[in-house]
């Protein structure tokens, strides 16, 4: 009587997700990026809190989220690391031999990026809240969690940082080289935005509104948005319009990365 050899379980998305999760957590750079992002965000919020004065018109929520200027770079790096990890260490051929359909790997990386970026953003938010307590008290800034604007700013902060991480993932998965992906991400997210900001005009303001940095509107309170809209000659997107622009960038980059992954060579 012949005994059949045990069959190996097939490749499932759950197994792909577990494998990618293990890879991300096993790399020390992931932890350091998360910790560094939280510290950078809280440190900048604390430093900016030193300049708060009573009657400044600033809200307590806007001070808490003011560290987004540095935090966005941290989550961008996080996404780039996840997107280029397979290629920088040379394991991509093994991975895609085991998962020949390829796209489940990218989807798993996107889900992992969302989770890690969300934890990072919430950690940065809590740390910034704690380190700015004294500054808010001295400046008379309150944080009312029953206020719709306050909730929008705090939630928008988390959403923006998660979105930036997905932009990093998309650029990383598309370019496959950590340095090239990081430079490209910084240029699109920060450098181009600031260059256009110092050269105002209808065309430049319109282009600026269509860059992923428009998602930073999610972190602005009503006073900051009003001041921004009063000076721009481009479209006035409001907070959620900026969020839509960021989502479209994320979708476009991930679709492009998925197309390259599916249709082109891995090299």
- What's the mean per-residue pLDDT of the chain? 89
Q: Can you give the pLDDT at residue 263?
A: 82
pLDDT, one tens digit per residue, over 191-230 is 999 999 888 889 999 999 999 999 999 999 888 888 888 8
pLDDT, one tens digit per residue, over 37-96 is 999 999 999 999 998 887 677 888 999 999 999 999 999 999 999 999 887 777 777 877
Task: Please tell me the distance from the alpha carbon of residue 33 to that of residue 81, in angstroms, as a whole number.
Answer: 9
CA 102 → CA 75, 173, 263, 264, 266, distances in Å? 24, 12, 10, 11, 10
Alpha helices by DSSP H, 132-197: 133-139, 148-175, 178-186, 192-197
Task: Please tell me the distance from the alpha carbon of residue 214 to that of residue 219, in angstroms, as a whole number.
Answer: 10
Rounded to the nearest angstrom, the gap between the alpha carbon of residue 240 and the centroid of all alpha carbons in its chain is 16
Q: Tokens 């319109």 — which residue?
A: 206
Phi first, then psi: give them for residue 9, nearest 5 degrees: -65, 140
pLDDT, one tens digit per residue, over 119-138 is 999 999 999 999 999 999 88
Tokens in use for 101?
């359909």
Task: Please tell me the distance from the alpha carbon of residue 33 to that of residue 78, in angstroms, as a whole number.
Answer: 6
Tokens in use for 207?
């282009």
**Cβ neighbours of residue 5 under 8 Å, at least 6 residues apart?**
none
Task: Please tell me the distance from the alpha carbon of residue 130 to that of residue 108, in angstroms, as a whole number.
Answer: 33
Say what the pTM is. 0.92
Q: What's the full length of the chain, in residues?
A: 267
Residue 1 has pLDDT above 50, yes or no: no
Residue 259 has a CB neighbour count (10 Å cut-off) of 12
Contact present, 19 and 42 (Cβ < 8 Å): no
Give the residue extent of every domain in the chain: 27-264
DSSP summary character for residue 140: T
Name which of 66, 26, 16 is nearest 46 in CA terms: 66
Name which of 105, 144, 129, 120 is nearest 17 in CA terms: 105
CA 112 → CA 19, 31, 39, 107, distances in Å? 11, 14, 22, 9
Q: Can you give the pLDDT at residue 262?
A: 85
- DSSP-based helix, strand, coil % in the chain, nearest 5: 80, 0, 20
């Amino acid at each position: 009587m012949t005994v059949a050899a045990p069959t190996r379980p097939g490749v499932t998305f759950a197994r792909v997700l577990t494998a990618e999760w293990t890879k991300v957590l096993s790399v020390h750079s992931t932890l350091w990026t998360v910790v560094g992002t939280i510290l950078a965000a809280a440190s900048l919020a604390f430093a900016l809190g030193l300049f708060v004065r009573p009657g400044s018109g600033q809200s307590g929520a806007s001070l808490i989220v003011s560290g987004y200027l540095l935090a966005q770079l941290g989550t961008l790096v996080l996404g780039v690391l996840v997107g280029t990890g397979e290629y920088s260490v040379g394991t991509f051929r093994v991975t895609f031999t085991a998962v020949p359909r390829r796209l489940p790997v990218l989807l798993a990386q996107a889900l992992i990026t969302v989770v890690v970026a969300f934890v990072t953003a919430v950690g940065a938010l809590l740390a910034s809240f704690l380190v700015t307590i004294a500054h808010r008290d001295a400046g008379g800034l309150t944080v009312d969690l029953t206020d719709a604007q306050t909730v929008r700013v705090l939630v928008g902060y988390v959403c923006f940082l998660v979105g930036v991480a997905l932009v990093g993932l998309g650029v990383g998965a598309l370019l496959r080289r950590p340095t090239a992906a990081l430079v490209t991400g910084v240029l699109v997210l920060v450098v181009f935005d600031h260059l256009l900001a110092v050269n105002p005009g209808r065309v430049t303001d319109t282009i600026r509104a269509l860059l992923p940095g428009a998602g930073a509107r999610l972190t602005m309170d009503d006073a900051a948005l009003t001041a921004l809209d009063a000076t721009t000659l481009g479209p006035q997107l409001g907070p959620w319009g900026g969020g839509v622009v960021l989502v479209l960038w994320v979708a476009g980059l991930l679709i492009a990365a998925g197309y390259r992954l599916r249709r082109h060579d891995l090299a």
